[in-house]
Structure formats: structure tokens, C-alpha cells
Amino acid sequence: MEMHFERILEERSLRMEERLATVQGKMEELTLRFEEEAERVPKEMESRGKELLEMMEGFKAELSKERTDRLSREGRILKQMDDHAEHIMNAIEKESLLREDTSKELMVRISENEKYRAQSENELQTKIQNEMAELRGMIEREKNARSRGDEFLSETMNKYQREFERTLYSIS
């Protein structure tokens, strides 16, 4: 059993040594890689920093040019707006005067039309009253004629009813 135990212990020791050798190899690989990266990364960072600095300088120049162009455009736009505002104010003043004149002309026309309308209303009122009187007379005549017709119908119906009753009486 001791032999067996020693053999197991020896096998495990061998495996452990193999693992340690593998881990040590990997550590050496990582150390080499780390050293390479330690040299390469700062160089890349410096190179990238220079590129970014150049790009930033380019952006600054473009931004400065764009700002100058924008200020120039804003100046032109403000001038156009001032010119346009002046043109609009003149047009509004002209339109206001024209409307005022038109308003006065319309007031005169309205006054004349009201005078003519009042006169026409009086004439129309007189015509309507005359026609109403004539229509009332026609209605009165029609009422009298219908009243006479109704009396005649009533007498005729009464006469017919009496004849009918006599005929019925004689038949029964």
C-alpha cells in the first residue's frame, strides 16, 4: 500500500511539474507579449495623438472659415430683412391710404343708397297698401259669392232631403 501511495504521489508530482512547466511557458509568452505591447502601444498612442491633433487643427480652420461665412450670410440676410421691412412698410402705408379713400367713397355710396332705399320703401309700402286693399275687396267679394253658393247648396240639400224622406215615407 505504501508503494501504491508513493506511486500515486509520484504520478501527481509529475503531473504537477508538467502543469507548472506549461504555466511557466504561458507566463513567459505573456511577459514577452506584454513587453511588445508596452513598446507598441505608446508609439501607436503618440501616432494617433498626432493624427487627432492634425484633424483638430483642420476642424478649427474649417470652423473658423464657416464662422466667417456664416457671419457674412447673416449680414446679408439682415440687410435683406431691413430692405424688405422698408418695402413692406411703404406698401402698407400705400394700401392704408387707398383703403381710406375707398372707405370714404363707399360711405358716400351707402348714404346715397340709403336715401334711395328709403324713398323706394315708401313707394313700395304705398303699392303694397293699395294691393292689400284690392285683395281685401276681392276676398270680401269671394266670401259673399261663396256664402250665397253655400246658402243655395244648403237649400238644395234640404229640399233633396225632404223629397228623399217623402219618398221613403211613401214606400214604407
DSSP structure class, residue 172: -
Query: pLDDT at residue 172 above 70?
Result: no
C-alpha atoms less than 13 angstroms from C-alpha of 109 in its C-beta half-sphere: 6
Q: Does pTM surpass 0.85?
A: no
Query: pLDDT at residue 130 above 80?
Result: yes
Average pLDDT, the chain: 89
Query: pLDDT at residue 5 above 80?
Result: no
Dihedral over alpha carbons 153, 159, 163, 169 (to 10 degrees): 110
Residue 86: C-alpha distances to residues 72, 77, 89, 164 (Å):
21, 14, 5, 104
Q: Which three cell numbers stand for residue 88?
A: 413692406
Using CA atoms, how far apart are residues 107 and 101, in angstroms rounded to an integer? 10
23-80 pLDDT tens trace = 888 888 888 888 888 888 888 888 888 998 999 999 999 999 999 999 999 999 999 9
Q: Which three cell numbers stand for residue 80?
A: 435683406
